[in-house]
Amino acid sequence: MARGFFTLAFRVLTLVGRLIIVLVFKLLATLVSSNSKQPLADMASASGTQGTRAEKKTMRAVVWEGKPYEMAVRDVPRPEIIQSQDAIVRITTAAICGTDLHTYHGTFGSATPPWSMGHEAVGVIVEVGQSIEHFKVGNRVIVPFSSDCGFLSVEQRFEDQGAFYGEGSDFGSEGGAQAEYLRVPFADDSLVAIPDDFSSDLDWLFLSDVFVTAWTGLDYAHFQAGDAVAVFGAGPIGLMCAYSAILRGASKVYAIDHVRDRLDKAASIGAIPIDFSSEAGTASEQILRREPLGVERSVECVGQECLNHDLKPEQNYVIQETIRVTKYNGGIGILGLYIALGKSEGTPRGELMDKELSISIPAMFRKNLSIGSGPVNVSLYEVMPRVFELVKSGRAKLSWIVTSQVGIEDAPKAYDRFDKKLEIKVVIRFPWVREQPVQVSSEPVAEVETAGEEGSRSEEKSPVKISSGRKKPRRPSQS
């Protein structure tokens, strides 16, 4: 009887042991499966809501070192959480903006280089401060080109925007988005969440700046459905402005430029291309032959480095053209950059930009024209919810503007091509992007590294020290 008891006990223990082994293997399989569903987040940071810092202390970034027509890719310190309201975003896709070209030319930026570049990006949160309530590790986000200021303002003023990314210490020194990682202050109010069922980084990327800015240019001009619109400049902002006008019901949209590829791109979305350098005359002459009374709205999307009919620099030329072509009671929006900073180490050609420009006030007065201008506050401006829903619904598809996709090591070449008008919009894709880059140009597209986080990086050098002269957070006026 005792022997039977021991035999039964042995069998029970054997069965229990087998069950334990099966449960252990199932648990391990569940953990592996859970991790495999988070390829875009740090595996180390998935274990806690605050994230865990990786051992690597440097990252690759596009850096301006104060040499006109040169950009570098350097190892720089990886950003860290400084305040409890911060978040660290691992950039998946960034873009080169027309404003970046002003820095590339040596006419815009902070006085003290170097600094990391870029202010258009989307990415995934890999670390959050203890006070963050609305985001968590693993969330996909849009990074608007300036951060929140950290306090409530009843007015939406330029001074109430936080730091501008990628412009150096004089503009807040929050680092640049053309880098592997970015620190975002006041992240709860600075970031915009991307829906879980997103289809592509590229459609969301341009809500960080170019599409929202372009849409707002029409608001500056007091656009209404049915208006005829003249958009000066068919670069990224101008093309997005023309596209916005078409989406909003413009009767006609004229896109003005002298670069054939850009004019062809404008025609492809339904705009009427106008070559302002052609023998047919200036842009205003060509449009007024079609619209004798002029157009209701004009939007300037070029800025202070504009060219005249003879393709010579003339800083007030495009603004004067908008006045000529806009009809009585019409409106003008100015989106181009007009900031004269003078010469410095960071702006070695800054003296080329005039601090004062002349325009014809009598012409504006006679035609009763209104004018709106200034940088757009992407984070706070009321237009964001509207354009966000356009993209979410699929009504607005923004990736059509992209002509090339490159890896970060090829960014300097991309700047050169963009500056020479060989590209319309270049995006930088990083190694951990899940989807395969799509070739959208007839030109060769640099392959994005797929070998892992480190990719095929060359031997590391000492990290570049980025200027850290960060201004204190702005506070509301007491007066």
Q: What is the pLDDT of residues 274-284, one digit of tens each?
A: 999 999 999 99
List pLDDT tens digits, range 313-341.
999 999 999 999 999 999 999 999 887 77
Q: Is the pTM of this model over 0.85?
A: no
Q: Is the pLDDT of residue 161 over 80?
A: no
Query: Does residue 258 have an active-site annotation?
Result: no
Bridge partners, 76 (sequence order) = 59
Burial code of 305-332, b = ≥16 C-beta within 10 A, e = fewer?
A: bbbbbeeeeebbbbbbbbbbbbbeebbb
- How far is 256 from 295, CA to CA, in rounded Å? 13
Please tell me the predicted confidence (pLDDT) of residue 13.
55
Q: Is the pLDDT of residue 89 over 80?
A: yes
Please tell me the predicted confidence (pLDDT) of residue 108.
80
Candidates 92, 93, 99, 103; catalytic one: 99
Q: For 130, list phi and psi in degrees, rounded to 5.
A: -65, -20
Local confidence band at 26 (pLDDT 50, 70, 90 cut-offs): low
Full set of structural domains in the chain with CATH: 58-208+382-429 (3.90.180.10), 210-373 (3.40.50.720)
CB atoms within 10 A of CB 75: 17
Please tell me the predicted confidence (pLDDT) of residue 51.
54
Local confidence band at 175 (pLDDT 50, 70, 90 cut-offs): confident
Candidates 49, 52, 92, 102; catalytic one: 102
Please name the helix (run of DSSP H) or strand (run of DSSP E) that holds residue 116, with its range, or none: strand 115-116
Local confidence band at 162 (pLDDT 50, 70, 90 cut-offs): low
More confident residue, 408 or 168: 408
CB atoms within 10 A of CB 383: 18
More confident residue, 246 or 381: 246
Q: Is the pLDDT of residue 15 over 80?
A: no
pLDDT (average), residues 77-87: 92
Q: For 60, list phi and psi in degrees, rounded to 5.
A: -95, 140
Please tell me the predicted confidence (pLDDT) of residue 188.
85
Please tell me the predicted confidence (pLDDT) of residue 2.
52
Helix, strand, coil shares of the chain, percent, nearest 5, are 30, 20, 50
pLDDT > 90: percent of the chain: 53
- How is the beta sheet containing 58-64 ordered, strand by strand? 72-77, 58-64, 115-116
List pLDDT tens digits, range 218-245.
999 999 999 999 999 999 999 999 999 9
Please tell me the predicted confidence (pLDDT) of residue 183.
92
Cβ within 8 Å of residue 7, ≥6 positions away: none
Local confidence band at 152 (pLDDT 50, 70, 90 cut-offs): very low
Q: Are 153 and 385 in contact (CB under 8 A)?
A: no
Determine the 3-state secondary structure of 169 from DSSP. helix
pLDDT (average), residues 69-97: 94
Q: Which of 101, 307, 119, 312 is nearest to 207 (CA)?
A: 119
Q: Which of 420, 417, 419 is nearest to 443 (CA)?
A: 417
Please name the helix (run of DSSP H) or strand (run of DSSP E) that holds residue 331, with its range, or none: strand 326-334
Local confidence band at 148 (pLDDT 50, 70, 90 cut-offs): low
Q: Are 71 and 415 in contact (CB under 8 A)?
A: yes
- How far is 2 from 150, CA to CA, in rounded Å? 77
List pLDDT tens digits, range 243-266.
999 999 999 999 999 999 999 999
Q: Is the pLDDT of residue 287 over 70?
A: yes
Query: Does residue 119 have an active-site annotation?
Result: no
Q: Ranked by mean pLDDT, which of 38-52, 367-381, 409-423 comes out on top?
A: 409-423
